[in-house]
Amino acid sequence: MMVEFFGGRPTRTRTRDTAPPAYSQEGECEKLPSYCECAPEPVTLARYLFIYGFFFPVFWVVGIAILFSPLRATPDWEMGKTEDEKKQLLSEMRAAEVKWAQRCLLATLTLLFAIAILVLIVIFAK
């Protein structure tokens, strides 16, 4: 309609001579592989301390202490597993705890840096 008003050449829409391919029936095609076959990360205390540290930053300081404390299992922990499975699970949990404890450290340093910047701004603004 606009083309006719301004005097341009009308464009033609191309029609398809062939139909698109049919959808495959359920079960005919293979199931697509998962891109991430990794197990879920174990839930640790350091993770909760990091999350709740946004409401009460002292939890981040407690989370930092996890970096310096070893993770030990009690004798009755995971009774149905072999020693190798226990060691593997313990190392996975320690890696997750260290990761979240490092995040607590980073959050604490960021908070202290922000407070220092605000104090300097208030001091030099006078």
pLDDT on residue 41: 82
pLDDT on residue 90: 87
Cα–Cα distance measured from residue 116 to residue 126, given in angstroms and rounded to the nearest whole number: 16
Cα–Cα distance measured from residue 32 to residue 34, given in angstroms and rounded to the nearest whole number: 7
pLDDT on residue 112: 96
pLDDT on residue 63: 93
pLDDT on residue 54: 95
Q: Is the Cα dihedral 64, 102, 83, 85 positive or negative?
A: positive
pLDDT on residue 105: 96
pLDDT on residue 73: 76
The structure tokens 């996975």 sit at: 92
The one-letter amino acid code at 17 reads: D
Cα–Cα distance measured from residue 14 to residue 46, given in angstroms and rounded to the nearest whole number: 61
Domain map of the chain by residue range? 37-73+81-126
Of 46, 44, 88, the C-alpha closest to 67 is 46
Cα–Cα distance measured from residue 47 to residue 104, given in angstroms and rounded to the nearest whole number: 9
Per-residue pLDDT of the chain (126 residues; tens, 9 = 90+): 566 666 666 666 666 677 777 766 665 556 666 666 677 788 889 999 999 999 999 999 999 999 998 888 777 777 788 888 888 888 888 999 999 999 999 999 999 999 999 999 999 987
